[in-house]
Amino acid sequence: MKVRLAKTAGFCMGVRRAMEIVLAEANKADGPLFTLGPLIHNNQVLQLLETKGVRAVEDPEGLPEGRIVIRAHGIPPQLRRKIKNSGLKAIDATCPRVARVQAIIRYHTKKGRSAIIVGDENHAEVIGLKGYSETPAHVIRTVDDVSKLPHLQKPFVVAQTTQNDENFRQVVKALKARFPDILVFETICEATHHRQQEVKAFGGQVDAVVVVGGYHSGNTRRMVEILKGQGMPTFHVETEKDLDRNQLSRMGVIGVTAGASTPNWMIKNVVREIEGIRGRKERLLAHWSRETLKFLVLSNLMVSAGAFSFSHAISILSGFPPGLSFPLITFFYLYAMHVLNRFLDKGASAYNDPERAAFLRKNRWLLIMTALGGIFGALVLAYRISVITFLALALFSALGIVYSIPLLPKALRHKYTYSKIKDIPGSRTLAEASAWTAVIWALPLIESHQIQWPSAMISALVVFLMAYTRSALFDLFQVQGDLIVGTETLPISLGEKRTITLLKILLLSAGVILAGGPLSGWVNAFSYLLILPLLTLALCLAAYERHWLYPGVVFEALVEGNFFMAGLLSVIWQVL
């Protein structure tokens, strides 16, 4: 079944921020941790947080010492004061968009204006907003409620941040007719607006839409209402278990979107389940092509083949004699390391990439045996080249496996923050980039009899910078799962924006190196051609940053494709 996934599906900024705050606090294990009310409207996420020791409470009174998180919806000022007097440490995760609406209400009601809130009166956000009003606040939902309002002096209107765009416009129109001097504040969250516009755009492009999200989530229900209002066949599901496979199998293309409180792993599970349904309108060739691509990515054959291609390109750049031995060693070694480390470090995969986690479980022994065969094959090839190359590769292999293995006895691990190399913040990205550099650049260098150090150093920098960017980009895809299991990757340590900025700087540096190398005479003109895969890798980063593509199998294949491109360019260079 072909799936079209909405770019805006999943956590909005406010929910993502709240989740990151709570998970970071949970990973500190610094005493009891509570949330004031359910953090978000998603039962599966709340159950997950309970396993992390996070308990939702409705009233802070009587709680023992500890920390309490104010959820994204915000709370009234009176409740804030109650928390302060309770002795609990308050951690504010109020969405900045909600905080802006709170500030508008407080500012204008202090001046004697009357607040009108368009929203659901019993929703946590609206309850919090009402608390900031110095004058009586009036909550309405639809145009019909406008006539029920009393006569108001100097009124102003705001919206609950997750309100329906069209409904708010209609209500404002009616309010202006009744109160010509009314002040209007467009406070619907930009993310909510984009979601609603995107689901409207599904019309005529898909046969049906599946909306993933809690059945009691307001913003999710509103998307369902919008779609049904447009006459679109719509299925609201909480998990993949709720899908109606029989009805969906009659379709050709299924649109998938999700509420602002739906985590990535739940969306991916639903997408995986739908893609596994053979639609009546789907051609067999298209189905098998997609399944083949999925197999190549999930089995790590694609990343290994990309590294094989990249290895050949770097040999041309370095001036090493081109051949197949070192690229084959690269293929076998990186295949083995990627597979084995996924099994040794599989905690986050269930959340980051449920499809890969299911693939690993299903093909566990086949993958482990082929990975061990990969190490053996790489060592045999290395031994045929020389004993030194064999010993160097054996050392690299040992280091690669040690990365995910506890270095301390079980009885001592709880006393230390870092019991494995992978526990060190940002180590995963650095370790992967170092492994690529070691096998692609260092091994051939060992066998080089006349080392041209300027070209060798340029080659090393290019390999490291491109491999580092690749690994860090995948870390950006996996922040939610890594936070859940407490893995401090680069984006978690630096933050998403700083990580993206760092990667832009690294790609720019690699571009300057590749452009300047031939001008200085340190490397050959092939360096100019390698700027092309560097630019397409930068394009992948932009696609993530601007939400052009949703992280998944296709996106991962596109990232690996940059390294295939480098190999193809090296073959063209040799031929010409």
d(CA 130, CA 137): 6
Bridge-partner residues for 208, per DSSP? 254
Which residue, among 100, 75, 80, 77, has the nearest Cα to 90 in the 3D structure?
A: 80
Per-residue DSSP letter, 183: E
Nearest-angstrom CA–CA distance, 207 and 39? 34
Residues 325 and 389: beta-carbon distance below 8 Å: no
Q: DSSP assignment, residue 5?
A: E
Q: How far apart, in Å, are the Cα atoms of 50 and each of 35, 39, 43?
A: 11, 11, 11
d(CA 368, CA 348): 19
> Using H for helix, E for strand and C for coil, what is the string for 284-340?
HHHHHHHHHHHHHHHCCHHHHHHHHHHHHHHHHHHCCCCCCHHHHHHHHHHHHHHHH
Q: In angstroms, rounded to a whole number, what is the distance separating the alpha carbons of residues 489 and 430? A: 10
Residue 415 to residues 31, 99, 135, 484, Cα–Cα distance (Å): 16, 40, 54, 21
What is the Cα–Cα distance from 375 to 370, expressed in whole angstroms?
9
Question: What are the residue numbers of the active site?
Answer: 125
Contact yes or no for 469/537 (Cβ under 8 A): yes
SS3 231: coil
- The closest of 540, 571, 542 to 557, measured between CA atoms, is 540
Nearest-angstrom CA–CA distance, 35 and 353: 27
Torsion angle in degrees (nearest 10) through CA of 455, 457, 462, 467: 140
CA dist 248 and 251 (Å) reads 5
Catalogue the E-assigned strands of 119-178: 138-140, 155-159
C-alpha distances (whole Å) from 369 to each of 157, 339, 432 are 65, 10, 22
What phi, psi does 184 have (nearest 5°)?
A: -115, 125
Taking CA atoms, 47 is separated from 91, 250, 394, in Å, by 21, 34, 44
Element (H, E) at 248: helix 245-248
Report the b/e string of 229-268 with b at 16+ CB within 10 A: eeebbbbbbbebeebeeeebeebebbbbbbbbbbbbbbbb
